Structure 1
């Protein structure tokens, strides 16, 4: 992998990731951009104890432009975009409309491919491996920033999820605090260890899913995927490396090599859940990594959570009163049924 760093016209960092060592990336951003102005602020909720990012400047962000005005496509034929080059493999750049900025953290955009009409599932294994390399590199770089406590790599796909740009892309958030969801996982892991004489919660959870077997979706040599026993979403899959590691940086070569095939297969199955003729399945794909300076980080298990808010053709799972008001999820699809369906739609 070759990484080439440059700056956009307003000073934001942009990074090209190429599979070829002889790739040359010398295009210059010629747009007449002014300095990026952000108004990001972290406020602490005194009742719940969690943090909320207030980012009023995001009201002005680009919203569902037509394909010929996409800011994530390469620059060509006189049309200048966020990527100065006429073509690219994988690109990462600082978000022009970040939720977190300055002392409040950092937000980056990851473009998975220059093909506007593709999706992650359309990528070849080599391209998917390059995206994994980019996620890993950014995790390492952002971890070195003094204010950053946790890095979150994720993809939102589909208008139903709230995507504002159709081009295949994801994001990376570098938080200046440990996220509430991760804090809850770490607290559960500590309680489990105290209750069981030091056993690891993540290891035991994966072992229990293997022992039960009904919710296993895909079992590879270095990765295992299952629908969790208490799945929150209609179709939700958790993907774990067989060797527990705290973050992407610690993945060994064997797991990294196998990941593209496993992940691409899961994404393809998601698009087949609801049968032929249905629109692409909207989803969130989220990497959970250990906080960098947490004393129990080695007890955390890197894993990916992939879920959709579609519960059946034409119907979505809305976070209504119980979920939004009390954070108590009600799932209409039994996890065993979801796992069985995800096995049924495996590639031949």
Structure 2
């Protein structure tokens, strides 16, 4: 790795994988403490059921009901362990990534899901053709992986509050994990994301994101593939999209390798998409120059959203990546950043038309959105 960012792999007490990513300018040494906790066996891998009305697969992950909800700082499960706080990360760290203890998608093992040489579950997905079939009462094991990405050892913050060096480390972690998870058997798509703010449903204030590795191509990506096919543009689809966005007043920030813009048909009161100028299917395919630019550019976008009002803006930051085994020459990496915030003290709630019918009504003209966000980003200034 030419960046100077070091990766150190270990395991937690129950066998889950943990990786430390050390900043290029880290002050940490190479030693890491051992996780000496006594933990229960991992929960059984969830089961997913097919919705015959849409063909979508829904993972029923009951273990998620036991997640910690907004704990005080002294009991933060993502902070480094202390004698009084037996958290998930044994050592002080810069960035840490580990397997979720209560995942929506988990190991394809029989029994209680504990690690070992247990056989594959009988109802594990048998590929995309199997999942595309139709039938009442169809179910499969929710085979996949869910990881937590801790952006900092600090209790409070978000990606946007990190330094440029730390942001670059997180980008390296996303790339590393995208490549590693894509190589796992049965994985069809990898999705890094960050949920920020209680208005989004966040249950931990600690600055963190997640990565899901799915056993199917997600419904959103399937619909994108249908639109690319219908356009007749094939591999030129995203080049045409970028050309269209660059010609409009909705661009909010442009670099040598990326452009951020409010999309033409924005659904949310605040919505920004970020698109690389070169075709890359996922974060792992970005070269060092692109990753180096992405860190400060993305920070400016996020800090610009926070500069719109006196309090931090809630959002979902979703990194849409190409499927692992299909359409990699057609689907380009893109960030889709959305927020329900439509005013200093007002949120957009998905009501009947959006939630029930998927028929969206935008509250703010995209051109007006873009002007406000552009002005806020200018107030933030350059980030080094």
TM-score range, shorter chain: over 0.9
CA distance in 2, matches of 1:323, 1:343: 27
Provide the rounded CA distance (Å) in 2 between the counterparts of 1:56 and 1:77: 30
Is 1:47 aligned to residue 82 of structure 2? no
Q: What stretches of structure 1 of length at least 5 have no aligned partner?
A: none
1:91 equivalent to 2:96? Answer yes
Instruction: Tell me, yes or no, if the aligned pair for 2:318 and 2:337 is still in contact at 8 Å.
Output: yes
**Are 1:200 and 2:232 an aligned pair?**
no
Cα shift readout 1:43-101 (whole Å, capped 9, x = no counterpart): 1111111111110111111111111111001113543210100x110000000111111
Which one of the candidate residues 140, 150, 173 is aligned to 1:111? 150
Task: Tell me how far apart the structure 1 counterparts of residues 90 and 172 of structure 2 sit (CA, whole Å).
Answer: 22
Distance 1:261 1:205, change over 3 A: same
Paired position in structure 2 for 1:263: 298
In structure 2, runs of 5+ residues without a counterpart are 109-142
| TM-score normalised over the length of structure 1 | 0.94
Alignment-derived partner of residue 330 in structure 1: 361
- For residue 117 of structure 1, report the CA deviation from its aligned partner: 2.3
After TM superposition, where is structure 1 displaced by more than 3 Å over at least 4 residues in a row? 20-23
Pair 1:18 & 2:18 matched: no
Matched with 2:169 is 130
**SS across alignment from 2:329:** helix
Match of 2:210 in 1: 171
- In structure 2, C-alpha distance between the alignment counterparts of 1:279 and 1:256, rounded to whole Å: 29
Q: Select 1:236's aligned residue among 271, 280, 283.
A: 271
Aligned-residue offset at 1:38:
3.1
- TM-score of the pair, normalised by structure 2: 0.85
What is the rounded CA distance, in whole Å, between the counterparts of 2:205 and 2:64 in structure 1? 17
**Contact (CA 8 Å) 1:226, 1:339: kept in 2 or not?**
yes
Q: How does 1:184-223 map to 2 (within 5 A)?
A: 184-193=223-232, 198=234, 200-211=236-247, 213-223=248-258
2-side partners of 1:38 and 1:208: how far apart? 47
CA apart distance, 1:39:
4.5
RMSD, aligned CA:
1.4
Partner of 1:224: 259
Matches within 5 A, 1:73-88: 73-85=79-91, 87-88=92-93
Name 2:10's counterpart in structure 1.
6
- Which whole-Å CA distance do the structure 1 matches of 2:291 and 2:257 have between them? 9
